[in-house]
Chain A
Amino acid sequence: MYPRSMEDSDCVLVMGSNMAENHPVAFRWPMKAKVEHGAKLIHVDPRFTRTSAMADIYAPLRAGSDIAFLGGVVNFVLNSERWNKDPFFRTFATTYTNAASIVSSEFRDTEDMGGVFSGLMAYTGDAPEWPFNGFIGEYESSSWSYEREGGGAGGDNPGGGPRETGREDGGGPNEQPALDATKAGAGGPPYDDLVRALLQPPVQRDDTLTDPRCVLQILRRHFARYTPEMVEQVTGCPRDQFLLVAQTLLDNSGAERTSSIAYAVAWTQHTYGVQIIGCAALLQLLLGNVGRPGAGIVALRGHASIQGSTDVPTLYHSIHGYMSAPSALEPHNSLSEWLAQETQPTGYWANTPKFMVSYLKSMYGAAATRDNDFGYAWHPKIIGDHSHMPMFVAMNEGRVKGMFCIGQNPATSLNAKLERSGLRKLDWLVVKDNWLHETAMFWKTAPEVRAGEVATADIDTEVFFFPSSQVAEYDGSFTNTQRLLQWHYKAADPPGECRSDMYFTYQLGKRLKALYAGSTLPRDQGFLNLVWDYESTDPREQQLGEPESEKILKEINGYYSEEPGRHVAGPEDLADDGSTSCASWIYCGVYPSPDENRSANRQADPPGVPGAHLGWGFAWPSNRRILYNRVSADPQGKPWSERKRYVWWDEAKTQWVGLDVPDFPTTKPPTYRAPPGATGMDAHNGTDAFILKTDGVGWLYVPEGLVDGPLPTHYEPVESVVRNPLYKQQSSPVLKYWKIDGNPLAELADAKYPYVITTYRLTEHYLSGAMSRWLPWLTELQPELFVELSPELANEQGIANLDRVRISSPRATVHAKALVTRRMRPLQVAGRTVHQVGMPFHWGWEGLSTGDAANELTALVGDPNTTMHEGKTFVCNVHKA
């Protein structure tokens, strides 16, 4: 869902985010809901923050115990009379979720195995060239899949299947269909046969929801131990507070009411972050809070256009539009292998061949032909996890020669000292930024240099600094939290030598192409054939060397290969035969004709008229604002209630209509039944609202795609002050940890580090502070680094407000001023008092306001699905300095 839709919520749960402080403008909408129609606002956070201040209900919890809390709500809901009686919930669950689907008989839940799922084994998946993936274990996950008609686990669907299936030693039951499909696709387009070859027998169902192996029964058993008592034990949240939250959510869900959940990085920055979010999704599916106005989960994104940067990805492991990057660890050796591996036979992803071929056409243009697999072989392949932490680990091992640091400040990032020692091992470092920030200056002013531990003269890294222009100095687009593209125009020339990042990338590409010119090496052909023409038509921009951003957006949108002046109008226009070129299928339609840039649209709905402001910008895909909005109508296509009507089936027009662009085939009637053997969207019934899912339903239970389990399970953070009260398994068995010098972890309940610490943001500053600590107006608002602690803890340690204190973790010690406040509180966890402290991570040693980086304290440990670090909870000690 998107933030503005929270205006329509009857209850808003903010958890895993400090929305008021970090998304103040978006926070306008829950505030509107609260003030204008009395929506209940709930905040669950270890600290009482400015969001808590606005909340009707504030519930404290121990950092990192979110799954226990949410699991408790799931258990509460499943056992509630209302959920079991109200026909809305039952209908919603059976029609729109996989509650009725039967799971493989081989599946074993955490209940039976002390906190782990079936299939756990040792990790052996690193490529020798890149031994940095960091997994401490892995699952062979075929036992998690659905039971299919005709008996036996159908095995993982190849699409998005777990990594290990492709490894030499992997194999597994799903290799068979993949091979067939590869053959079917080997002859080139059309790829219909390939898609058909991927088809599997239908999933077994029990619509009475009584089969012990149906998803709902598995859920009931899985969450049975998440009782209110247990929630209190694990999270430290007083039971009555927890019950109030659970009851309020339930009361505000149903046909007439909707609740939304907002989270951000306080859910992602854990070694089980994806599972926390999954748990929230599960809860919202159970409550029918998906695809409806004021319902859903708002993933509050961070950096400006961070959404755009994952759509048109800077992510190492995906190519545009969330397709998997070709990988050396997967059976990705040819286009047909890649397609067989990545295509889903049913649902919208059956179009993958069209998306992929159009993508390759956008990469290699005319050089991409049917005969050369559209240049697939030229495309670079990944050889492992190339995200932030493994990169710096590899850097420390001397495996990385150079780095472009464009709009990032790693010198104060995770386990900062290690990041800086990595930088010192580089041959060259290019920093492109608006400020001479800590990374640009690491060789001169880093703490270890100032302390004399490292001499500047001994650092061989050659550092280049390129001043960057600011956003108002070039044309371009932002994609915000709600997947909305908004064009922005250049207001002024950048000063001096400052240039945009587009300029830098474009010019670098041009120069490299010139350097490679004439090479006949096969590995250089991709570079040579790369389409790279964004030359500006504006003489002024030409003089500056800036490319034309419209040209880039046009390429992303796509056009007909033979007729570049004719744009494709939407993903439906894409073809798998090379006749269309489109960099990113999800953005397809943003530029439907050369003179219509829909991201520049600025037509808001008139006040008082219900609508989704479809005339404002362009939301991918196809300008839809709320995804899966088919579920806002009941199975028959009628709105669940007048109050919550959004998209519905118009009998007279025989099409889906409503306030938004329907996220469903426009003319497919609710009564449509998929014929056997159908592929793609034809394989979905008129009630299968989740069009990207193979089975067309929302997944309460996730049979594939996650590496750490099909159901959320409470684990303790890597560093914890308590033993896991729920399971024998202490923390995630498959998390990522890099055991290298300088990255030690505390033992469980280590007496040297008795307190829980969390790191976070302040409204007044921005991230590493490179953008805010230079600004006097912001600096005076929060002039110094502090650590927040409760009076109780301060008392225990003899610390007074504003005292200088030492905070230490197994990695480092930093100094800060104490801010003693009752907003922090000790919690009773597992029968003892747990103190939590909190530190903003905005400081570094350059700028108008300087201070230690909180990230000196953090460790290189991460989520097994995303490699997101666990910055939100670890252990520390606090002393008066």
Chain B
Amino acid sequence: MAEPMGFFTDPTVCIGCKACEVACKQWNQLPALDEDRRTLSGDSYDNTRKLDGTHWRHVKFVEQFDEDRRDGRWTMLSDVCKHCVQAGCLEVCPTGAIIRTEFDTVVIQSDTCNGCKACLGACPFGVIDINPVSKTAQKCTLCYDRLQAGMEPACSQACPTDSIVFGPVRELKERAGRRVDQLHAAGEKRAVLYGADENMLGGLNAFFLLVDKPEVYGLPPDPKMPTRHLATGTLATMLGAFVVGLVSLFNFRDRRAGEASAPDRDQP
């Protein structure tokens, strides 16, 4: 396996130009203009609204202004599939359509997916949705086709300010650490990394720098694996089966039931 590759996304230098969104659509030939998105959202400059089967990159716009405007901030964050080391989507996919590549990225094989939708909810970040053209679940592939050809992903290449940096995750983490130190030194004490360490789903190969609580950017503070309830849920269900079995056995074995037992092979 090649070295794990990923993204470091830094909203403090994102100018919200959406070049990443368009580059992704262009490279992956994703359609635009579904019904939902023909109208103004009214939510700042975000009109594509979310990540889904035709939006594998999505730039969030967060306006935070005091009433008197003394303190004000407009943050843009380019969101994408996190290529989790422990990937919920991959865990739950019943067809094996979702695979982990040699770059430690998570890719949905479009020819395999049958649109069962299990992965849609399973992703802790709500990244995946059905692509209306292929009718299969789709999301960022981390430009698997480009990586295989030794190229950089389309989105990071298009990013004019290096808000999206692509590279080996190890190097990205160093770079991100330096950036956080720099921001702290410049007085931005809120700067933290999101998903850069193993605590979050074993680490996110596409991780972020945040300057506020994750929820502000629509990110879960503690993303969890969908399978966390698998064992307990199964055990509880088995317990249920046991109880149900007992109850029915007990009742069918009941004397009164036995007395009135009908003849065995009654015929019409």
User: Taking the complex as a whole, does A directly touch B, i.e. does some CB pair lie under 8 Å apart?
Assistant: yes
B15–A21 touching, CB < 8 Å: yes
B residues less than 8 Å from A25 (CB atoms): 160
B residues less than 8 Å from A817 (CB atoms): 40, 42
The docked-state distance in angstroms from the alpha carbon of A793 to that of B123 is 42
Subset of 14 A-B contacts with CB under 8 Å: A21-B17, A27-B15, A27-B160, A35-B182, A50-B17, A50-B76, A52-B74, A777-B25, A777-B32, A782-B40, A802-B40, A819-B42, A821-B44, A823-B74
The docked-state distance in angstroms from the alpha carbon of A779 to that of B40 is 11
A residues less than 8 Å from B16 (CB atoms): 20, 50, 53, 763
Indicate if A801 sits at the interface (CB-CB under 8 A).
yes
Expressed in whole angstroms, the minimum distance between the Cβ of A828 and any Cβ of chain B is 12
A24–B19 touching, CB < 8 Å: yes
* A-B pairs, 7 with minimum CB distance: A822-B65, A776-B32, A53-B74, A20-B15, A802-B42, A784-B40, A24-B17
A50–B15 touching, CB < 8 Å: yes
Indicate if B83 sits at the interface (CB-CB under 8 A).
no
Question: Which residues 12-67 of A have a CB within 8 angstroms of B?
Answer: 20-21, 24-25, 27-28, 31, 34-35, 38, 48, 50-54, 58, 60
B74–A781 touching, CB < 8 Å: no
With contact pairs A50-B15, A50-B17, A780-B48 given, residues A848 and B69 touching in the complex (Cβ less than 8 Å): no
Indicate if B31 sits at the interface (CB-CB under 8 A).
yes
B15–A822 touching, CB < 8 Å: no
With contact pairs A783-B47, A821-B63 given, residues A50 and B74 touching in the complex (Cβ less than 8 Å): yes
Q: In this complex, which of B22, B38, B45, B162 has the most chain A Cβ atoms within 10 angstroms of its Cβ?
A: B45
Indicate if A111 sits at the interface (CB-CB under 8 A).
no
Expressed in whole angstroms, the minimum distance between the Cβ of A327 and any Cβ of chain B is 43
A residues less than 8 Å from B262 (CB atoms): none
Expressed in whole angstroms, the minimum distance between the Cβ of B52 and any Cβ of chain A is 12
A763–B25 touching, CB < 8 Å: no
Indicate if A778 sits at the interface (CB-CB under 8 A).
yes
B residues less than 8 Å from A38 (CB atoms): 186
Q: In this complex, which of A27, A52, A780, A786 has the most chain B Cβ atoms within 10 angstroms of its Cβ?
A: A780
Nearest-neighbor residue (CB-CB) of A58 within chain B: B72
A residues less than 8 Å from B17 (CB atoms): 20-21, 24, 50, 763
B42–A781 touching, CB < 8 Å: no
B39–A783 touching, CB < 8 Å: yes
Indicate if A825 sits at the interface (CB-CB under 8 A).
yes
Indicate if B73 sits at the interface (CB-CB under 8 A).
yes
With contact pairs A21-B17, A48-B74, A52-B74 given, residues A780 and B45 touching in the complex (Cβ less than 8 Å): no
Indicate if B146 sits at the interface (CB-CB under 8 A).
no
Indicate if B1 sits at the interface (CB-CB under 8 A).
no
B residues less than 8 Å from A825 (CB atoms): 69
With contact pairs A28-B160, A823-B63 given, residues A764 and B32 touching in the complex (Cβ less than 8 Å): no
B residues less than 8 Å from A51 (CB atoms): 15
Nearest-neighbor residue (CB-CB) of B46 within chain A: A781
Nearest-neighbor residue (CB-CB) of B49 within chain A: A780
B40–A822 touching, CB < 8 Å: no
Indicate if B161 sits at the interface (CB-CB under 8 A).
yes
B interface vs A, CB < 8 Å? 13, 15-19, 21-22, 25-26, 31-33, 37-40, 42, 44-45, 47-48, 63, 65, 67, 69, 72-76, 160-162, 179, 182, 186
The docked-state distance in angstroms from the alpha carbon of A809 to that of B191 is 45
Expressed in whole angstroms, the minimum distance between the Cβ of B217 and any Cβ of chain A is 14
Expressed in whole angstroms, the minimum distance between the Cβ of B195 and any Cβ of chain A is 21
The docked-state distance in angstroms from the alpha carbon of A48 to that of B63 is 10
B32–A779 touching, CB < 8 Å: yes
Expressed in whole angstroms, the minimum distance between the Cβ of B87 and any Cβ of chain A is 28
Nearest-neighbor residue (CB-CB) of B21 within chain A: A781
A28–B161 touching, CB < 8 Å: yes
Expressed in whole angstroms, the minimum distance between the Cβ of A833 and any Cβ of chain B is 13
The docked-state distance in angstroms from the alpha carbon of A20 to that of B161 is 10
Q: Interface 1/0s, chain A 278-301, versus B by CB < 8 A?
A: 000000000000000000000000
The docked-state distance in angstroms from the alpha carbon of A51 to that of B15 is 7
Question: Which residues 238-278 of A have a CB within 8 angstroms of B?
Answer: none
Q: Interface 1/0s, chain A 729-767, versus B by CB < 8 A?
A: 000000000000000000000000000000000111000
Q: Interface 1/0s, chain A 767-799, versus B by CB < 8 A?
A: 000000000111111111010000000000000
Expressed in whole angstroms, the minimum distance between the Cβ of B11 and any Cβ of chain A is 10
The docked-state distance in angstroms from the alpha carbon of A556 to that of B167 is 45
Nearest-neighbor residue (CB-CB) of A786 within chain B: B40
The docked-state distance in angstroms from the alpha carbon of A822 to that of B65 is 6
The docked-state distance in angstroms from the alpha carbon of A50 to that of B65 is 14
The docked-state distance in angstroms from the alpha carbon of A24 to that of B59 is 15
With contact pairs A24-B17, A27-B160, A823-B74 given, residues A780 and B63 touching in the complex (Cβ less than 8 Å): no
The docked-state distance in angstroms from the alpha carbon of A28 to that of B37 is 30
Nearest-neighbor residue (CB-CB) of B72 within chain A: A48
The docked-state distance in angstroms from the alpha carbon of A50 to that of B77 is 12
Nearest-neighbor residue (CB-CB) of A817 within chain B: B40
Nearest-neighbor residue (CB-CB) of B54 within chain A: A780
A53–B22 touching, CB < 8 Å: no
Expressed in whole angstroms, the minimum distance between the Cβ of B55 and any Cβ of chain A is 9
A residues less than 8 Å from B37 (CB atoms): 780, 783
Contact of B45 among A34, A52, A782, A801 (CB under 8 A): A782
With contact pairs A27-B161, A822-B63 given, residues A783 and B15 touching in the complex (Cβ less than 8 Å): no
The docked-state distance in angstroms from the alpha carbon of A779 to that of B47 is 10
Contact of B47 among A27, A31, A776, A781 (CB under 8 A): A781
A residues less than 8 Å from B45 (CB atoms): 50, 762, 764, 782
B residues less than 8 Å from A24 (CB atoms): 15, 17, 19, 160-161
The docked-state distance in angstroms from the alpha carbon of A60 to that of B70 is 11
Question: Which residues 793-832 of A have a CB within 8 angstroms of B?
Answer: 801-802, 817, 819, 821-823, 825
A781–B18 touching, CB < 8 Å: yes
The docked-state distance in angstroms from the alpha carbon of A858 to that of B257 is 92
Expressed in whole angstroms, the minimum distance between the Cβ of B16 and any Cβ of chain A is 5
Expressed in whole angstroms, the minimum distance between the Cβ of B170 and any Cβ of chain A is 21
A777–B22 touching, CB < 8 Å: yes
The docked-state distance in angstroms from the alpha carbon of A825 to that of B18 is 25
A31–B13 touching, CB < 8 Å: yes
The docked-state distance in angstroms from the alpha carbon of A822 to that of B37 is 24
The docked-state distance in angstroms from the alpha carbon of A781 to that of B32 is 9
Expressed in whole angstroms, the minimum distance between the Cβ of A848 and any Cβ of chain B is 7
Expressed in whole angstroms, the minimum distance between the Cβ of B176 and any Cβ of chain A is 13
A residues less than 8 Å from B186 (CB atoms): 38
Nearest-neighbor residue (CB-CB) of B42 within chain A: A802
Q: With A24-B17, A763-B15 given, name 18 new contacts (CB 8 A).
A: A21-B17, A28-B160, A31-B13, A31-B161, A50-B17, A763-B18, A764-B18, A776-B33, A777-B22, A780-B33, A780-B48, A782-B45, A783-B38, A786-B40, A802-B40, A802-B42, A822-B67, A823-B72
B18–A784 touching, CB < 8 Å: no
Question: Which residues 143-172 of A have a CB within 8 angstroms of B?
Answer: none
The docked-state distance in angstroms from the alpha carbon of A74 to that of B129 is 56
Nearest-neighbor residue (CB-CB) of B163 within chain A: A31
With contact pairs A50-B17, A58-B72, A779-B33 given, residues A801 and B65 touching in the complex (Cβ less than 8 Å): no
B residues less than 8 Å from A783 (CB atoms): 37-40, 47
The docked-state distance in angstroms from the alpha carbon of A60 to that of B68 is 13
A781–B15 touching, CB < 8 Å: no
Expressed in whole angstroms, the minimum distance between the Cβ of B22 and any Cβ of chain A is 5
A residues less than 8 Å from B26 (CB atoms): 777
The docked-state distance in angstroms from the alpha carbon of A21 to that of B16 is 8
A53–B76 touching, CB < 8 Å: yes
Expressed in whole angstroms, the minimum distance between the Cβ of A819 and any Cβ of chain B is 7
A residues less than 8 Å from B25 (CB atoms): 777
B residues less than 8 Å from A35 (CB atoms): 13, 179, 182
With contact pairs A31-B13, A781-B48 given, residues A819 and B22 touching in the complex (Cβ less than 8 Å): no
Expressed in whole angstroms, the minimum distance between the Cβ of A57 and any Cβ of chain B is 12
Expressed in whole angstroms, the minimum distance between the Cβ of A580 and any Cβ of chain B is 42
A823–B32 touching, CB < 8 Å: no
B residues less than 8 Å from A50 (CB atoms): 15-17, 45, 74, 76
